[in-house]
Amino acid sequence: MARVVWKIMKHETGKLSFLLVLYAIVSLALFLYSYTQVDLNLTLSRISIWQAIQRSFQYIGYFQRPLSTGLYLTILLGFFGLYAVTLLMISRKAIGEQSLWKIIAVLVGFLLLSYPAFSADMFNYMFTAKTVLVYHKNPYAVLPIQFSGVEPWLTFMRWIHLPSAYTPIWIGLTLPFYVLGFGYFLLVLWNMKLLVAGFYVVSVWLVGGILEKVGDGRKVLGMAILALNPLIVIESLVSAHNDIAMMALALGACYVFFLKRRMGSWIFLSLSAGIKLMTVFLVPVFFTGWKRGWALIAMIAALTLVLLRPGREFLPWYFVWVMPFVALLPDRPLVTVVATVMSLGLLLRYAPYLYLGHWNAPVPTIKWWVTIVPVGISIIAFFFQRYAKRSDPKSNDQR
């Protein structure tokens, strides 16, 4: 089967259309699967036929958990397989930037309307905006639980005993998108996802712009490393975390820096940190001339320090802080390989919950192993391959 697929992919006239079909299939599968995770306390539509469809999807997600987990793992396999093939084709100049944007359009087109299956943060974004616009309250001064008895969303929200954790800049960005939802839950949800998807697209464009300024010669490859990474796709287009907004503004700071507009660069970085504080770790990078490797190290340091806090878990979307700077180093295959396998390990952390339906033991142990083992194997395999190439006389003759 793999040989047949590869032969089709090598055919000049059919490779892009075949890629688009495959991406459409896996994106549609993820779109449909996302609705298996709709909270049992949430009714998305009052139309009876849609309620019946919703219940049939929820039955798979909540009462056929082995099947649900198998579907999730199959979708992951499809995305990572396509990711590897697409990066290989781009590195061989088989497809270009225009083709990449068509693939991105397919992903956004299908997943914009998906349900935020793997996190409830989106509902907190929505309710914070609702607190300001509907209840006319300060989201930092009131708790969501104080609206018990009048607010139906509390039945499926999380962290209702805490005030808003989001910054004024982020809340301000969400307000127009809430207004344009006209009070309809699904429309508000999709509008909020549109906001996050916009930052995803901007991030990809900025990676290309930066690599073009640097003159790396691997502009399209860098864009694809970010845009098509399955973790970025799931956490930015499905769960729609605002971390991609933070990183889009950080990339904007980098891009403006290369335009030699230093004040503008500082403004963009300030706005980025104003959404989430982690990008303050990029401040020292300004004094090194915005070296891409140092930016990656800075965000890895930010991630490490956050994880060193007692009781802090490595949530998959935290890796969104790192991937844009991996994408800015397309000439470092080891970095891309390790980041890809790390992305796989982090997305596998959802599997034990999908299978067992809880986060208690043995789930924490399983999550640790599925994160660490793939990374270790990938590093060993990479260095073994490098050693084998250096030991091969034919390889040495070619050099």
The secondary structure of 90-109 as a DSSP string is HHTTSS-HHHHHHHHHHHHH
Tell me if 267 is assigned to some domain.
yes
Tell me if 21 is assigned to some domain.
yes
Closest CA relative to residue 70, chosen from 61, 81, 57: 61
What pLDDT shows up at residue 47?
85
Tell me if 135 is assigned to some domain.
no
Q: Can you state the angle between helices 333-348 and 363-391, rounded to 10 degrees?
A: 160
DSSP code for 165 = -
Confidence of residue 13 (pLDDT cuts 50, 70, 90): very low
Confidence of residue 311 (pLDDT cuts 50, 70, 90): confident
DSSP code for 329 = -
| Out of 28-32, 210-214, 258-262, least confident range | 258-262
Confidence of residue 48 (pLDDT cuts 50, 70, 90): confident
What pLDDT shows up at residue 398?
44
Tell me if 74 is assigned to some domain.
yes
Q: What percent of the chain has pLDDT over 70?
A: 92
- Planar angle of CA 383, 388, 392, nearest 5 degrees: 150
Range of the domain at 49: 2-120+187-398
Q: Six-digit token pair at 83?
A: 């990711």
What is the pTM assigned to this prediction?
A: 0.92
Confidence of residue 2 (pLDDT cuts 50, 70, 90): very low
pLDDT above 50 for 399: no
Tell me if 133 is assigned to some domain.
no
Tell me if 201 is assigned to some domain.
yes
What pLDDT shows up at residue 386?
66
How far CA 1 is from CA of 7, 78, 383, in Å, comes to: 10, 14, 29
Tell me if 255 is assigned to some domain.
yes
Alpha-helical segments (H) within 236-289: 243-258, 262-275, 283-286
Tell me if 140 is assigned to some domain.
no
Number of folded domains in the chain?
A: 1
- Planar angle of CA 226, 245, 354, nearest 5 degrees: 70
Three-state secondary-structure class, residue 185: helix
Task: Work out the average pLDDT over 172-188.
Answer: 96
